[in-house]
């Protein structure tokens, strides 16, 4: 859930600031992009150079970029950039200032101007944490929608034992992952996706197939997982890694194997997306071993494979939503609309090999999405990751 998330990490003046370096690395290890804002007192515990080196980005701690020229730092931009503003460690002083709307340092100004959600990970001594004023401030922040990552118990800098230690970096990253998932628009949805080609064997080494790389289906699986869905990806033979966040990956070779896996999982799916380029026909006879050149038949008799999308459409329940893909060599609109109605789908995603950069084997795609009911959505040429996000945005509008 942290893959490609933009996390603004705020660091305040606490001995726990040393953990923030480890936290930045842990968030990056999980795929997040991290930028850092520090209070002046935080720089006394850990240097901005350390965080800048770890994140490969400058650290923000002052209102001015250059005191000689008067160039200022745009605190508003940081709050707009981030998916979440995580303040870890958050001192009692900083949380009190947040409650009262104080903005006497750069971090607090970012807090007041940020439009993204805010999360705090308190760190302080036991008596400071349990003080009624601190508890009242935490309650007030929680009522305003600020996420609170409870401190942990253990040895404190004062020598006391008790609650007040900032949560460990791995625990904070786990908390954020759960938090993003709970807030995600497709949380609680199960999505079944087919992807890639199928290989229909002629003999032990030859097959009938197509040029599908699986990139579009894998991008969709990644985008659906990021949106909080539980994703089951049924994939033909591809040279791709399993997308981050996908809960179940079933690898198959043939159309028959893909049909069996897709049908077996369909009843549990809220949304089913037929993105795979399944072979329309397979050899009636397949040799168990390799056929030598002199043994190859003059003709290969073919039979139709089972239609996954059509079968899904015939079995669809009222609470299920089906998406199909149509690859054409011309503009293909009439064919896509026919497929939408004939196979009882809710969306058909049309792409055409006539458009440069679209179709099989590319990193980009250009699509048109047709909805049941007549709506049509045109999208320009984009990366397949961006195309997947566009499709998921439409799914969210119809299914969230």
The domain that holds 288 is classified in CATH as: 3.40.50.10300
Domain membership flag for residue 109: yes
Structural domain count, the chain: 2
Q: What is the DSSP string of 169-219?
A: HHHHHHHHHHHHHHHSTTTT-EEEEEESB--EESSSS-EE-----SHHHHH
Q: Is 30 helix (H, G, I), strand (E, B) or coil?
A: coil
> 383 and 282 share a domain?
yes
Given a contact cutoff of 8 angstroms between Cβ atoms, the answer to whether 175 and 122 are in contact is: no
Q: What is the DSSP letter of 91?
A: -
Confidence of residue 76 (pLDDT cuts 50, 70, 90): low
Domain membership flag for residue 143: yes
Domain membership flag for residue 137: yes
φ/ψ (deg, to 5) at 215? -65, -40
Which helix H or strand E contains 165, and what residues bound it?
strand 161-165
Which of 164, 183, 202 delimits the end of a domain? 183
- CA dist 270 and 94 (Å) reads 44
351 is catalytic: no
> 179 and 235 share a domain?
no
Determine how many CB atoms are found less than 10 A away from the CB of residue 169. Answer: 20
Q: Is 366 helix (H, G, I), strand (E, B) or coil?
A: coil
Half-sphere exposure of 111 (CA within 13 A, CB side): 31
> 218 and 233 share a domain?
yes
- CA dist 225 and 220 (Å) reads 8
Q: What is the mean pLDDT of residues 238-243?
A: 92
φ/ψ (deg, to 5) at 391? -65, -45
Domain membership flag for residue 321: yes
> 232 and 147 share a domain?
no
Given the residues 100, 105, 210, 341, select the one marked as catalytic.
210
> 68 and 160 share a domain?
yes
The token duo for 339 is: 């497929």
Which of 183, 204, 221 delimits the end of a domain? 183
> 205 and 342 share a domain?
yes
The alpha-carbon radius of gyration of the chain (Å, integer) is 27
Q: What is the DSSP letter of 355?
A: S
Supply the CATH number for residue 129's domain. Answer: 3.40.50.1950
Domain membership flag for residue 1: no
Domain membership flag for residue 31: yes
For residue 359, pLDDT over 80 is answered with no
> 47 and 160 share a domain?
yes
pLDDT tens per residue, range 80-118: 888 899 999 999 999 999 999 998 999 999 999 888 999
Given a contact cutoff of 8 angstroms between Cβ atoms, the answer to whether 366 and 357 are in contact is: yes
Confidence of residue 69 (pLDDT cuts 50, 70, 90): low
- Any idea what the Cα angle at residue 62 is, between residues 59 and 66, rounded to 5°? 95
> 160 and 205 share a domain?
no
143: exposed, middle or buried (Cβ count in 10 Å: 0-12, 13-18, 19+) = exposed
> 153 and 241 share a domain?
no
pLDDT tens per residue, range 287-306: 999 999 999 999 999 999 99
Which of 131, 158, 183 delimits the end of a domain? 183
For residue 166, pLDDT over 90 is answered with yes
- CA dist 334 and 340 (Å) reads 10
> 166 and 208 share a domain?
no
Domain that holds residue 291: 190-399
> 338 and 252 share a domain?
yes
Mean pLDDT of the chain: 92
- CA dist 327 and 304 (Å) reads 18
Domain membership flag for residue 70: yes
In 3D, which of 255, 172, 246, 240 has the Cα closest to residue 207? Answer: 255
> 284 and 249 share a domain?
yes
φ/ψ (deg, to 5) at 207? -155, 165
Note the pTM of the prediction, 2 decimals.
Answer: 0.75
Domain membership flag for residue 376: yes
């Amino acid at each position: 859930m942290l893959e490609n998330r933009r996390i603004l990490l705020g660091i305040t003046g606490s001995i726990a600031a040393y953990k923030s370096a480890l936290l930045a690395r842990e968030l990056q290890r999980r795929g997040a992009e991290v930028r850092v804002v520090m209070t002046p007192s935080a720089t006394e515990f850990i240097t901005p150079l350390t965080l800048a080196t770890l994140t490969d980005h400058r650290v923000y701690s002052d209102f001015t970029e250059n005191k000689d020229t008067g160039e200022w730092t745009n605190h508003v931009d940081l709050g707009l950039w981030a998916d979440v503003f995580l303040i870890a460690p958050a001192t009692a002083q900083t949380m009190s200032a947040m409650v009262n709307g104080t903005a006497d340092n750069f971090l607090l100004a970012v807090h007041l101007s940020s439009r993204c959600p805010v999360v705090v990970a308190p760190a302080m001594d036991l008596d400071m944490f349990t003080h009624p004023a601190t508890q009242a401030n935490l309650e007030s922040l929680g009522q305003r929608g600020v996420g609170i990552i409870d401190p942990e118990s253990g040895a404190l800098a004062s020598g006391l034992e008790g609650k007040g230690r900032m949560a460990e970096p791995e625990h904070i990253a786990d908390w954020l992952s759960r938090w993003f998932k709970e807030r995600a628009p497709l949380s609680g949805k199960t999505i079944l996706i087919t992807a890639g080609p199928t290989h229909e064997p002629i003999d032990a080494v030859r097959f009938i197939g197509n040029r599908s790389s699986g990139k579009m289906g894998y991008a969709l699986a990644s985008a659906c997982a990021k949106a909080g869905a539980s994703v089951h990806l049924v994939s033909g033979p591809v040279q791709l890694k399993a997308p981050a966040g996908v809960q179940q990956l079933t690898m198959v070779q043939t159309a028959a194997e893909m049909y069996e896996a897709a049908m077996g999982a369909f009843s549990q799916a809220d949304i089913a997306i037929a993105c795979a380029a399944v072979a329309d026909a397979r050899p009636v006879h397949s040799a168990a071993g390799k056929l030598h050149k002199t043994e190859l038949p003059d003709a290969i008799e073919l039979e139709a494979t089972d239609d996954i999308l059509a079968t899904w459409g015939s079995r669809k329940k009222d609470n299920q939503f089906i998406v199909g893909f149509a690859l054409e060599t011309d503009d293909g609109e009439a064919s896509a609309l026919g497929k939408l109605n004939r196979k009882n789908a809710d969306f058909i995603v049309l792409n055409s090999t006539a458009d440069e950069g679209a179709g099989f084997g590319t990193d980009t795609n250009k699509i048109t999405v047709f909805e049941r009911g007549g709506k049509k959505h045109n999208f320009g040429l984009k990366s397949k990751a961006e195309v997947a996000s566009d499709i998921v945005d439409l799914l969210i509008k119809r299914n969230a």
